[in-house]
Amino acid sequence: MKRYLSKIPLPEAITILTKTFPQPDQREFIPAEEANGRVLASPVYAQATIPAARLASMDGIAVRCQETFEARDQNPILLMNVISISTGQVVPTGYDAVIASEEIGFAGDDRYEIRRPARMGQNIREPGEEVKAGRLILHPGHRIEPSDLGALITYGIREVEARSLVVGLIPTGDELVQGDQEPKPGQVRESNTAVIAASLVQAGITAVRYPITPDEPDLIRNVISIAAQSCDLVLISAGSSGGSRDHTREVIEELGSILFHGVAMRPGKTILCGNVESTPVIGLPGQPMASLTAWREIVIPLLRSWEFDLQQIHESSAVTAEPIPSDGGIDEFIPVSIVRILGEDYVFPRPRGAAGQMQAVRSNAVLHIPAVKEGYREGATVTVRLTRQHRDEQGILIAGISDTLTDLLQATFISHTYHLIIRPLSAIGAAAALCKGMCHGIFISGSATGKDSDISRLLQSGCRDQVRSMPVGCRGGELIMLLFRDTPPVLGEISPLIDFLSSETWRKVVGLPEQGCTVEPLTSEPGNEYSEQTTGHTQRIRS
């Protein structure tokens, strides 16, 4: 078995790429109306003066200022030598102000009453007030946004010179089938190149997805050779490891040279980079999370060095809800969820691994643990990179059971303010999180909440607040319960979920009787009335 023996540091890999491959100088002229998302290669100058003439900016009458000087509230005057005018119309020569309609009174016989003088240029847009022909509009390197298109068209710009970059995407593997095909046992749908292509297109880069190539050296050699001649960058999905069916390295060595194979990062350590006819050819791991991480941490920095802006970095600070260990000596990237609980942002790690894609779906940020650290302790303040353009400011985090019932709840609980997040944990782990205030509530089987159960004892001894419970649904004939702390701050945030679980809509979905959908105390504490900090249905529930 072939091995990649030397894993270079992540910063070194990025430096090798950016220094070996300077920015390609490819450009093309495209119609301005089709330029959305493209990166400008040259400056754009206005081709027209806007406005081209003196225009009224209000509906009203065009006047000569000198004829209005004596107008006062106590001394209104009547004007006759005026012209009625609408917004956007050319102001006739000889008139130097426009009085808005709401400031005039009609006195009949084409006479208008005014009570204050007009000032020179009042409500008039002068020629070139917005822009003059020849002025710079957009600079090179600017990425065209939809709001830019209106200005380009208005200012007489018919076409722009944009940077042109073509990235070839080559999926390899005998086990792969197209996304619209039904896989047989041992086969998987090819999705890695679809993810990368979507990001490229958003950045104004042309993505060329080649057909799936089997694990045959001759076939791989042929498609890489073709792509290296016609593309500015070639990305190969899978085949970068050292297995018997991984041929990417040997083919690149035959066609060119290897710059590095193996990077001290997790996931994504098997990434390799070669040079084929002065074109960077990068072999990405086949596992989805490893591929996504290698793309984000190595390929995107290369594209940014070419002044293509992909996935702008937005960072946020939060507190770790549990210890997050890591091996020293590697850069590790962990999918996490940031959830705001009682005004504090907490980081909850998602399951690690190179294969699964649910981590990317369920997470909203990435935590980078540098090679010089061995992780973070619980309660550490860390900086995370958001992976979604806008993260939910307020989440309702429920720990414990995660199955088709909770999937159904996430699919049907709709709130404009709150986002429901399910964190899979064992019953004991979920109860401990509830005691520590690291979640809003927990989902747990009814049998685990008996009076003498370990869970009840843990909650009674470890939770400072009274804990209440209510049924959520059934699984295998057993009730699933929601447990939560009975305190005003918690109730203020979890009440939308309690209201929904108490609603007729949810009861009908899961088949719960109305009389069974009540909130009950699980642990003892002075006072027996459910907090009135909640809203809607929950205000009426008594213990």
- Domains annotated for the chain, with CATH where assigned, are 10-24+165-305 (3.40.980.10), 27-50+130-163 (3.90.105.10), 55-125 (2.170.190.11), 315-386 (2.40.340.10), 396-540 (3.40.190.10)
- Does the pLDDT of residue 534 top 50, yes or no? no
Quote the DSSP letter at residue 303: H
Three-class SS state of 39: strand
- Across 250-271, average pLDDT: 95
CB-side neighbour CA atoms (13 Å) of 321:
27
Q: 354: pLDDT confidence band, cut at 50, 70 and 90? A: low
Cis preceding-peptide flag for 51 (omega within 30 of 0): yes
DSSP H helical segments within 417-541, as ranges? Answer: 427-436, 454-462, 488-501, 504-510
Cα–Cα nearest to 524, from 470, 457, 433: 457
Our CA dihedral for 423, 492, 468, 474, rounded to 10 degrees, sits at -50
Across 172-180, average pLDDT: 91
Q: Is the pLDDT of residue 353 over 80?
A: no
Could you give the CA distance from residue 500 to residue 164 in angstroms, rounded to a whole number? 51
Mean pLDDT, all residues of the chain: 88
User: What tens digit of pLDDT does each residue of 390-407 get?
Assistant: 555 567 899 999 999 998
Residue 395 is encoded by which pair of tokens?
């989440």
- Alpha helix ranges (H) inside 43-166: 146-154
Which has the closest alpha carbon to 151: 16, 293, 23, 48?
Answer: 48
Asked if pLDDT for residue 421 goes beyond 80, the answer is: yes
| pLDDT at res. 1 | 42
**pLDDT surpassing 60 at residue 323:** yes
Checking 478-481 for CB contacts under 8 A at 24+ apart, the result is 478/445, 478/446, 478/447, 479/445, 479/446, 480/401, 480/405, 480/443, 480/444, 480/445, 480/446, 481/443, 481/444, 481/445, 481/446, 481/449
Looking at residue 299, what is its pLDDT? 97
Identify the weakest region by mean pLDDT among 180-189, 291-300, 352-361.
352-361
Out of 293-297, 387-391, 443-447, which region has the weakest mean confidence (pLDDT)?
A: 387-391
In this prediction, residues 19-40 reach a mean pLDDT of: 94
pTM of the entire structure?
0.79
